[in-house]
Chain A
Amino acid sequence: MTFPVLTLTLLAPIIAALVIVFLPQDEPKTVKITAALGTFTSLALSLFVYFAYNKQVGGFQFNETIAWTKDLGVTYALGVDGISLPMLLLTNLIGFSAVFASWNIDKRPKEFFILLMILITGVMGTFVAKDLFIFFLFYEVVVIPIYIMVVIWGSSKRVTKEYAGMKLTIYLLMGSAFLLVGLVALYLQSGADTFMITELAKRSATMLPKDFQIIVFGLMLLGFGSLISMFPFHSWSPDGYAGAPTAVSMIHAGVLKKIGGYGLIRVGIYVLPLGAKFWAPVIAILAIANVLYAAFIALAQKDLKYVVGYSSVSHMGYVLIGMFALNMVSVDGAVAQMFAHGVMAALFFSMIGFIYEKSHTRYIPDLGGLAHQMPRLATGFMIAGMASLGLPGTVNFIGEFTIFLGSIKVFLIPAILGIAGIIFTATYNLRVLANVLFGPRRPEWDHLQDIKGPELVPLFVLAFVVIIGGVIPNLLMDMVNSGVHSSGIAAVIQALGQAKGGIF
């Protein structure tokens, strides 16, 4: 047995949470530093794994396998490949930043950070689990802290935080309900007596007939689709982000959503390729609805968090169309875009969080000219906005371009409509930048302090990743390529032999 680095990555925040439990209530600084150390350990370990991973060999590495419930065939099996590693790294980048974005929390900090640590562990777990059952368990772990955090530390604007929290939770649970049914059906149908994803996939061609795949994929699509805020199951997302505290918005928009996309690739396409192929044209249409519909709605928003909320719905449309164009390039792009969007959304939400924390408003017409008082925050906000509109030089451009390249070949017209989305994306982003940051100095905001000290961590970490990923894209793309090639997805896509698009 090798050194269990993945288990340690998962445990670091849990250990931090345990330490926090025994810290006195009146030592918020110590609580925060402990949380930071916990997430930093995870971040460092996942960075180590990311760069130590052998891309030439590919496949699952850093495996840990312990039989857990033999009778049921549940295995505590962890491992990472080129698809899960970017997600794991993303989780920890955002988790680490989220701690600093919550640095000024003074309402029951102990409980807040304990829940945050559990949340981060849960999200990480879904990405390193090789066993569908374990995946499901981690997924369930995520739900509880989110609800509590929204209801206690959230904010009520258009909708109350109780409503937002409930909506988020119910959608998450609904996803898990469909997932559970699909999971049981897969287990029984495949006759493999195991929940190991690779084992299930191996039997996909022989044991899983087409109709079965179509139905189960449909169930998974309802579950994972709501999670990735696919139209028309997206309406939890803007309300939820608006109600949630900054850290939850960051994690939710940044990585939790991506569990949906990750699941659709790992389980949907990999295990149920025929189902995926059947549903692909439907998803492509819904994805374009995502892109354009949400972008237009984002134009009409006055609350900063709603803008980014709808924007993230819009961006997920790109991920979906990339994923279900079902070719190597487009799937590559979808994975890259999940990573890119996660970093960008987390940066955006952390900057908005600081604005809200300091000014107590997110109402865009009340804001303006903040670049005068808070130039550093303005820089971060600006980078997030530019990344959101897919400016070259940011990692988001890489993801989008790759998706466009792959999907235009398969879905010509939907893809062109989707690409037209870059115009509207630019419109709402530039408006927000202009109306929040620029314009005459407003004396009522003169008391605002620019972000400093620990508050700068999210800006530095996330903006650095946004830009380095855009300037040296192979840091990410080599990993993703290796993942798509070696995880068996490539073979599945090859076997599907997606028809070539008309004019290419």
Chain B
Amino acid sequence: MIRMEASFQWAWLIPALPLLSFLIIGFITKKWPKLSSTISIAAILTSFVLAVWVDFGVFASGVGAELVEKPYQHVVNWLTFSGVPWGLSAAPLNIEFGTLIDPLSAMMLFVVTLVASLVQIYSVGYMHGDKGYSRYFAYQSLFAMSMLGLVLSTNLLQLFIFWELVGLCSYLLIGFWFFKPSAREAAKKAFMTTRVGDFGLLLGILFLLNKFGTLNFVQLFHMMTPEVKAMVAVGGVSYLTLTAFLVFIGPIGKSGQFPLHVWLPDAMEGPTPVSALIHAATMVVAGVYLIARIYFLFQGASPAALEFVASLGGFTAIFAASIAIAQNDIKRILAYSTLSQLGYMVMALGVGSLTAGMFHLMTHAFFKALMFLGAGSVIHALHEKQDIWEMGGLWKKMRITGTTFAIGVLAIAGVPPLAGFFSKDEILSAALHNGHPVLFGIGLFTAMLTAFYMTRLFVIAFMGPEKAENHPHESPWVMTLPLVILAFFSIVGGWAGIPEHGFAYFVRPWGSEFEPEAMNWLVAGPSIIVGLAGIILSYIVYYGKASDPVEAAFPRVYKVLKNKYYVDEFYLWIIKHIVDGIGKVLYWFDIYIVDGIVDGLAWIARSLGSLFRRAQTGQLQVYAIIFFVALIVLFLAVTYGEGQLHALNPLALGGGK
């Protein structure tokens, strides 16, 4: 029996409090904006404190390692299906709701509550005076609830439910300024694109549930016996491999992997703090978290599954980074950088290092939230200007924003001893050690690109020539305080990986042995070098320039990159011509063929009616003749045709007596 910390049984409050806040704001305090934001922030801060309490239980009291073997679970029955035995478990089919605590979920609780709290505090300043202020905080609370519920899920269906609610919340928040057509379209796009991924995930869930009769993570984990691993689905593909692929389609949509990445850059149409939340701590990391949560499935599948995950992640990383170079919108650059970093995390999971992937998720959450909030601070100061070429000289006017942003840039560029350095190093060494030299190379090159475009952003926006029409000023303390806190974590966040019993000791796949690894300077050395090279190169290219020199040098390549390889255009074409086209054709078919037949039948009935109407002449003589003739026919039939009339008996038609 596992030692249980008192805090664990209160973990359900962590998502419940933001939910309560959502309900209170939605039904009661909507009319009082200040009260609404206070309630929302109080709720999320309490959740944060609870999360820290839980984390103490997990990491400080020594049960952490036990929890990797035997996670703490607390469940209640939620949905009963007919109670018939189903699948391998042969237990009556039902779905539970509950909380699962192991180091992985505990780490996520901390990251999510921390970032969500800071984003909400920041929003008090950023959203000040907005018409939908209360609604904004209601959505924020709902968002936090959904993500925290997802993190604590004990089974795949519970996770899927919160997963979809996370999707709903980002839909609501991306489209928060619904009067803007661009925001409206972006919200729709986010929902639609992730929905395509959800289709795969849902199929995966159905396949798992039908086979195993349970979706509980721990139970599934224990069912991964060699016999189960050997089960074949179709065409020699093992059942687990097929399922793993299907489940992975979900994260492709949610975590913006190619080719379902298109929604994420548009998602910045929402208020900037929302982008920070979506890009750092919620929504997009849900996909990565899902893979980590159900990692045993990928381990049980054939190596091709993880190989695919790794390759797609690596491709997304370099693909998105190359686009980021040619963007001019400050939020768009950050958005593509998120895509690229998500690719990094997925690649890490794919090359077999859950630890590295989750480590990067954590550090990325800190510095990406920092940079998005920093960008928000800049946009706020410049009255909604987002083009970096219209900025410049902000460094002198916005010292706190500038300094913290610089920390973010250095962190993502992998400069030691900042957070990004440690997690990126873990990913690269995992790639190299587990036999993926190509992915290692891609990772290294992407690291350089990352340093390059992030420095480009900083050099142009903060160090470029000052614009006379801009009158920037530093943001109020509610906005700068979160920046400072996040900057602090962006510096020290990576140090969690240093001690012997650090990050890797706790956050690792269930049932795996902990293998301490020393810093590998053969990996870290090149990684530092490419990072610095990217920074220096970018500084040389962009410092003091008023327009993009790269665009002038390589106009064609630049155009392709600027237009994001035309993927969006391609999708639009498909939707407009193929999907809508089919709709129109089928509609035509429905009106003119299906309905045409129905109307045709009606027409025949009407015509027959008007034909027979002629028989109703009203002339007695005609009726008399018909009557007389019919009488003769009947008489003859009865006299000579006895027996045949049985054929008209309705019972005989039915086949009986």
Chain A residue at minimum C-beta to C-beta distance from B184: A438
Bound: A423/B584 CA distance, A = 17
| Complex CA–CA separation, A473 to B195 (angstroms) | 23
| B602 within 8 A of partner (CB) | yes
Interface string of A417-438 (1 = CB under 8 A from B): 0011011101100110110011
- Residues on A lying within 8 angstroms of B by beta carbon are 167, 170, 184-185, 188-189, 209, 211-212, 215-216, 232, 234-235, 239, 293, 296-301, 328-329, 332, 369, 371-372, 386, 389, 391-393, 397-398, 401-402, 404-405, 408-409, 416, 419-420, 422-424, 426-427, 430-431, 433-434, 437-441, 473-474, 477-478, 481, 484-485, 502-504
Chain A residue nearest in CB terms to B163: A392
Q: Pick from A211, A404, A438: contact of B202, CB below 8 A.
A: A404
Name the CB-closest residue of A to B602.
A170
Which B residue's beta carbon lies closest to that of A398? Answer: B79
Which residues in B have their C-beta under 8 angstroms from that of A392? 160-162, 164-165
Contact B195 A423 (CB under 8 A): yes
Cβ-closest chain B residue relative to A390 = B164
Determine the residue in chain B with the shortest Cβ distance to A239. Answer: B595
The answer on a CB contact under 8 Å between B192 and A434 is: no
Please name all residues of chain A whose beta carbon is closer than 8 Å to the beta carbon of B584 when the two chains form the complex.
Answer: 300
Known: A299-B579, A391-B168, A423-B196. A215 touches B188 (CB 8 A): no
Contact between B185 and A474, CB atoms less than 8 A apart: no
State the Cβ distance, B516 to closest chain A Cβ, in Å.
41
Q: Which of B181, B192, B209, B234 contacts A430 (CB 8 A)?
A: B192
In the assembled complex, 11 residue pairs joining A and B whose CB atoms fall closer than 8 Å, in A order, are: A188-B651, A189-B654, A209-B655, A209-B656, A216-B654, A298-B583, A328-B84, A332-B82, A433-B188, A473-B79, A481-B83
Q: How many residues of B contact A (CB 8 A)?
A: 60
- A296 touching B586 by the CB < 8 A rule? yes
Q: B239 an interface residue at 8 Å Cβ cutoff?
A: yes
C-alpha gap A209/B187 in the complex (Å): 57
CB–CB A371/B192 < 8 A: no
| 9 A-B pairs with least C-beta separation | A300-B583, A299-B583, A392-B161, A438-B178, A328-B82, A438-B184, A300-B587, A235-B595, A296-B583
Alpha-carbon distance between A170 and B650 when the two chains are bound, in angstroms? 25
Contact of A441 among B179, B188, B233 (CB under 8 A): B179
A299-B580, A369-B179, A440-B181 known; A188 vs B654 contact (CB < 8 Å): yes
B612 at interface by CB-CB < 8 Å: no
A441 contact set on B, CB distance < 8 A: 179
Point out the residue from A235, A404, A438 that lies within 8 Å of B598, measured CB to CB.
Answer: A235
User: Provided the pairs A404-B202, A405-B206, A420-B199 are in contact, do residues A189 and B656 lie with their beta carbons within 8 angstroms?
Assistant: yes
Distance in angstroms between the alpha carbons of A298 and B579 in the assembled complex: 11
Nearest chain-A residue to B183 (Cβ)? Answer: A438
Known: A235-B598, A422-B199. 5 other contacts (CB 8 A): A393-B164, A397-B164, A439-B179, A440-B179, A504-B207
Contact (A477, B185) CB under 8 Å given A386-B168, A392-B161? no
> A502 CA to B161 CA in the complex, in Å?
28
A398: B residues at CB distance < 8 A: 79
Complex: chain A residue closest to B588, CB-CB: A300
- Decide: B184 and A434 in contact? CB cutoff 8 A: yes
Residue of B162, B192, B595 ringed by the most chain A CB atoms within 10 A: B595
The answer on a CB contact under 8 Å between B82 and A329 is: yes
- State A217–B545 Cα separation when bound (angstroms): 80
A473 touches B651 (CB 8 A): no
Per-residue A-contact encoding for B70-112, CB less than 8 Å = 1, 0 else: 0000000111111110110000010000000000000000000
CA distance in complex: A299, B191 (Å): 16
**CB-CB < 8 A to A504: which residues of B?**
87, 207, 210-211
**Chain B at the A interface: mostly helix, strand, loop or mixed?**
helix
Nearest-Cβ distance from residue B426 to partner chain A, whole angstroms: 34
Using Cβ atoms and an 8 Å threshold, which residues of chain A touch B55?
A: none
Contact of B203 with A485 in the complex, beta carbons under 8 Å = no
Which of chain B's residues have a CB closer than 8 A to the CB of A332? 81-82
Chain B's closest residue to A504 (CB) is B210
Give CA–CA (A209, B656) in the complex, Å: 9
Of A372, A431, A485, which contacts B179 at CB under 8 A?
A: A372
Is A474 a contact partner of B586 (Cβ separation < 8 A)? no
* Chain A residues positioned under 8 Å from B587 (CB to CB): 297, 300-301
Q: How far is the CB of B369 from chain A (nearest CB, A)?
A: 27
CA gap between A423 and B191 in the complex, in Å: 10
- Whether B572 sits at the interface, judged by CB under 8 Å, is no
Q: Is the CB of A393 within 8 A of B165?
A: yes
Q: Please name the residue on chain B nearest to A299 by beta carbon.
A: B583
B residues within 8 A CB of A473?
A: 78-79
Chain B residues near A440: list those with CB within 8 A.
179-181
Question: What B residues does A439 contact at CB under 8 A?
Answer: 178-179, 181, 184
Q: State whether A416 touches B203 (Cβ < 8 A).
A: yes
Which of B198, B206, B595 interacts with A404 by CB under 8 Å?
B206
Q: Across the interface, do B192 and A426 meet the contact criterion of CB distance under 8 Å?
A: yes
Q: What residues on B are CB-neighbors of A397 within 8 Å?
A: 161, 164
Given A405-B206, A419-B203, A473-B79, A296:B654 Cβ within 8 A: no
Contact B175 A438 (CB under 8 A): yes
Say yes or no: A300-B580 contact (C-beta < 8 A), given A329-B82, A332-B81, A423-B199: yes
Q: A392-B164, A409-B210 given as contacts; is B179 within 8 A of A185 (CB)?
A: no
Minimum Cβ distance to chain A for residue B335 (Å): 21
CB closest residue in chain B, given A332: B82
Chain B residues near A430 (CB-CB < 8 A) = 188, 191-192
B620-657 vs A, Cβ < 8 Å mask (1 yes, 0 no): 00000000000000000000000000000011001110
In the complex, A229→B82 CA distance in Å? 27
Say whether B568 faces chain A, with CB atoms less than 8 Å apart: no
Please tell me if the beta carbons of A503 and B234 are within 8 angstroms of each other in the complex: yes
A170 to chain B: which residues have CB within 8 Å? Answer: 602
Residue in chain B with minimal CB distance to A421: B199
Measured CA separation A300–B584 after assembly (Å)? 5
Given contacts A405-B206, A427-B579, contact A481 B82 (CB under 8 A): yes
Which residues of chain B have C-beta atoms less than 8 A from A437's C-beta?
178
Q: Are A293 and B82 in contact (CB under 8 A)?
A: no
Closest chain A CB from B171 CB (angstroms): 8
From residue B144, how far is it (CB to closest CB) to chain A in Å? 16
Q: How far is the CB of A172 from chain B (nearest CB, A)?
A: 14
Q: How far is the CA of A22 from the CA of B456 in the complex (A)?
A: 82
Contact B79 A212 (CB under 8 A): no
* Residue of A301, A369, A401, A402 with most partner-chain B CB within 10 A: A401
Docked pose: A40 CA to B654 CA in angstroms: 46
Please tell me if the beta carbons of A485 and B79 are within 8 angstroms of each other in the complex: no
Q: For the complex formed, measure the closest distance between the CB of A48 and the CB atoms of chain B, giving whole angstroms.
A: 23
- A431 near B210: Cβ-Cβ < 8 Å: no
With a cutoff of 8 Å between Cβ atoms, the chain B residues found around residue A216 in the complex are: 654
Known contacts A423-B195, A434-B185, A503-B239; A212 and B583 CB within 8 A of each other: no
Q: Is B438 an interface residue (CB 8 A)?
A: no
Q: A387 to nearest B CB, angstroms?
A: 12
Asked if B548 is at the interface of the complex by the 8 Å CB criterion, the answer is no
Instruction: Tell me which residues across on chain B come within 8 A of A393, comparing CB atoms.
Output: 161, 164-165, 168
Inter-chain CA distance A404–B206, complex, in Å, is 7
Q: Are A235 and B594 in contact (CB-based, < 8 A)?
A: yes
* Residue in chain A with minimal CB distance to B202: A419
A501 vs chain B, min Cβ distance (A):
8
* Residues 136-175 of chain B, each 1 if its beta carbon lies under 8 Å from chain A, else 0: 0000000000000000000001001110110010000001
CA of A212 to CA of B203 in the docked complex: distance in angstroms? 38
Chain B residues whose C-beta falls within 8 Å of the C-beta of A422 in the assembled complex? 195, 198-199, 202
Most chain A C-beta atoms within 10 Å of own C-beta, residue among B83, B160, B198, B584? B83
B304: interface (CB < 8 Å): no
> Is B582 an interface residue, CB under 8 A from the partner?
yes
Name B171's closest neighbour in chain A (CB-CB).
A430
Q: Which residue of A lies closest to B231 (CB)?
A: A503
Contacts of A502 on B, CB cut-off 8 Å?
234
**A404-B206, A405-B206 given as contacts; is B199 within 8 A of A297 (CB)?**
no
For the complex, give the distance between the alpha carbons of A485 and B233 in Å. 31
Q: How far is the CB of B341 from chain A (nearest CB, A)?
A: 28
Residues of A close to B583: CB separation below 8 A:
296-300
